[in-house]
Structure 1
Amino acid sequence: MKLAHISDLHLNTLFNDSNLLRIKRLIKYIASKSVDHLVISGDLADNADESDLLLLKKLLIKEGFNNSAKLTIVPGNHDIFGCPQKPTDIFTFPDRCKEVNYDEKLSMFNQIFSDSFKDTITFSKEFPYPFIKIVNDILIVGINSITQYSKYKNPFASNGEVKLHQFNILNELLQKYNDKDYFKVVVIHHHFNKIKNTKRSIAGIWQNIEKQTMKLKKKKRLLSLFNKHNVDIVLHGHIHYNEFYERKGISFLNAGASTVGYSGRSLRVNILYFEPNEIKSELHKITESGEIKVEELFRKVYKSNTKLSPNFI
Structure 2
Amino acid sequence: MKIVHLSDLHWGFSPERDALIEQRLGELSACTADHVVISGDLSQSGRSEEFAALRSLLLGSGCYHPDRLTVIPGNHDLFSFFFRDFNAGRDLYARWRRLPGAAASLYRYGWREYEADLDRFHSFFSETFEGIFTLAGNPAISYPFIKLLGERAALIVLESNRMLPQIRRNSACSNGWIDLDAAAAILAHPGLENRFRIVVLHHQLQAEEQVAARMGRLYAAMTRLINRTALIDLLDRSGVDLVLHGHYHHLEQYTVGRSIPVVNSGDAAGWHLIDIGEEGAGIIPRM
TM over 0.5: yes
Distance 2:167 2:276 in 1: 43
Tell me the TM-score normalised to structure 1 length: 0.79
**Which of 246, 251, 254 is the equivalent residue of 2:261?**
251
**Which of 114, 137, 142 is the equivalent residue of 1:102?**
114
Answer whether contact 1:186 1:231 (CA < 8 A) is retained.
yes
Task: Give the root-mean-square deviation of aligned CA atoms.
Answer: 2.1
Q: Does structure 1 residue 141 correspond to structure 2 residue 128?
A: no
| Structure 2 partner of 1:121 | 133
Which SS does the other structure have where 2:270 is aligned? strand
Distance 1:178 1:229 in 2: 13
Quote the offset at 1:268 in angstroms. Answer: 0.5
Q: Relative to 1, partners in 2 of residues 1:171 and 1:98: Cα closer, same or farther, differing over 3 Å?
A: same
**Which of 275, 278, 281 is the equivalent residue of 1:279?**
281
Q: What does 1:215-254 correspond to in 2, within 5 Å? A: 215-249=224-258, 250-254=260-264
**Which of 150, 157, 172 is the equivalent residue of 1:156?**
172
Answer whether contact 2:246 2:264 (CA < 8 A) is retained.
yes
| Structure 2 partner of 1:305 | none
Instruction: Kindly provide the amino acid, as one letter, of the partner of residue 59 in structure 2.
Output: I
**Which of 126, 130, 147 is the equivalent residue of 2:144?**
130
Q: Does structure 1 residue 9 correspond to structure 2 residue 9?
A: yes
Distance 2:25 2:8 in 1: 13
Distance 1:221 1:6 in 2: 26
Q: Does structure 1 residue 270 correspond to structure 2 residue 285?
A: no
Quote the offset at 1:213 in angstroms. Answer: 1.1
Tell me the TM-score normalised to structure 2 length: 0.85
Quote the offset at 1:179 in angstroms. Answer: 7.2
Q: What does 1:7-156 correspond to in 2, within 5 Å? A: 7-12=7-12, 16-82=14-80, 83=83, 84-85=85-86, 87-88=92-93, 89-90=95-96, 91-92=99-100, 93-98=102-107, 101-124=113-136, 125=138, 128-136=142-150, 137-148=152-163, 153-156=169-172
Distance 1:151 1:79 in 2: 16
Quote the offset at 1:272 in angstroms. Answer: 0.4
Q: Relative to 1, partners in 2 of residues 1:179 and 1:67: Cα closer, same or farther, differing over 3 Å?
A: closer
Higher helix share: 2
Give the length in aligned residue pairs: 265
| Structure 1 partner of 2:204 | 191
Quote the offset at 1:30 in angstroms. Answer: 2.7
Q: Relative to 1, partners in 2 of residues 1:277 and 1:212: Cα closer, same or farther, differing over 3 Å?
A: same
1:271-305 CA deviation, whole Å, 9 max, x = no partner?
000011121111111xxxxxxxxxxxxxxxxxxxx
Quote the offset at 1:254 in angstroms. Answer: 0.5
Runs of at least 4 residues off by over 6 Å? none
Quote the offset at 1:178 in angstroms. Answer: 7.9
